[in-house]
Homo-oligomer: A and B are copies of this chain.
């Protein structure tokens, strides 16, 4: 279910599936720009880069050159299910012990279908683990003040432990202003600069870790992949995925390099990495030749490529050329079914954490 949910999220996006990770819409452009630059600089297939014509399997297919595949598949769908099951138990333990049910509130403004779908999926995910969901829907033409009023009312509501403002907001509103209004204790997205600062600093603890990068690290943990002492490359430096993922790896004692649009030799640097997290939104950019044998690959990209044989006329692929990578790497996340399902699981986890903290429940 989680996988198809992500799929639905993506298919309903008008721009790019990465919009799912780009709730701060200003970053979409940066990512796109980044990708363009990276393509220019890659040398694996001069003139073509990792073009869409290269057919990489978008998911682990046992019938497809199985004998050559070395990599263990990191099954995000299964891990996300385990995480949700754990959350379900904790939510019910909390309810029984102190009578508190964690609550997640979403503020949805306007009539975008994709936004409505995201919100519906989050609501379903909450229900599935016993988290109470709250929702305010406001019309496209509502004022900034009305939105602010909703946010502030959730800030004050003791049954709400996490608040999400679904982006994008209508263009007549100051997005930053509205996001800044969310109480830092309930900012389950973890994008507040104070949280990012604490994430960067040794000896400090963020209140929340952003969901997608948290999901990446959780996958490594659940598969007992050692991070300490390893070299790691993060491809992409968005505020939402790349940068916090790099800070998390650094906190776990990896030696981290962030590759971005201005990096001159991305292939060469990537080839040195024991762990690669790619979050640029460029289909099949990371080729087999970029990968050190035995590396662990976490693919955050969910990119649609035209495929007339697919029911919807397209299929989803990651940033990493799966077919090539699985012959070189020791472990890899598929797309879909890798990082995707982890994002909502981590949102639920952050909401639970928030409720526990607010009610001082261990």
List residues 228-286 of chain A with CB under 8 A from any CB of chain B: 228-229, 231, 237-239, 243, 247, 250, 253-260, 262-264, 269
Q: Which residue of B lies closest to A250 (CB)?
A: B258
In this assembly, does A183 line the interface, its C-beta being within 8 Å of a C-beta of chain B? Answer: no
A47 to chain B, nearest CB (A): 22
Residues of B with C-beta under 8 A to A193: 194, 197-198, 200-201, 204
A243 to chain B, nearest CB (A): 6
Residues of B with C-beta under 8 A to A258: 250, 255-256
Complex Cα spacing A30 to B204, Å: 14
A250 to chain B, nearest CB (A): 6
- Tally of A interface residues using CB under 8 Å: 37
Complex Cα spacing A197 to B196, Å: 5
A262 to chain B, nearest CB (A): 4
Complex Cα spacing A350 to B258, Å: 28
B197, B255, B259: the one within 8 Å of A197 (CB): B197
B27, B202, B239, B256: the one within 8 Å of A30 (CB): B202
B197, B243, B264, B269: the one within 8 Å of A195 (CB): B197
- In the assembly, how many copies of this chain are there? 2
In this assembly, does A171 line the interface, its C-beta being within 8 Å of a C-beta of chain B? Answer: no
In this assembly, does A203 line the interface, its C-beta being within 8 Å of a C-beta of chain B? Answer: yes
Complex Cα spacing A203 to B26, Å: 9
The answer to whether B255 touches A260, judged by C-beta atoms less than 8 angstroms apart, is yes
Complex Cα spacing A229 to B239, Å: 20
The answer to whether B203 touches A200, judged by C-beta atoms less than 8 angstroms apart, is no
Complex Cα spacing A262 to B252, Å: 10
Residues of B with C-beta under 8 A to A200: 193, 196-197, 199-200, 243, 247
Q: Which residue of B lies closest to A204 (CB)?
A: B193
A253 to chain B, nearest CB (A): 4
Given A255-B262, A263-B255, verify A192-B197 contact (CB < 8 Å). Answer: yes
Interface residues of A (CB under 8 A from B): 26-27, 30, 192-204, 228-229, 231, 237-239, 243, 247, 250, 253-260, 262-264, 269
- A-B pairs with the 7 shortest C-beta distances? A197-B197, A193-B197, A196-B197, A253-B262, A257-B257, A255-B263, A201-B239
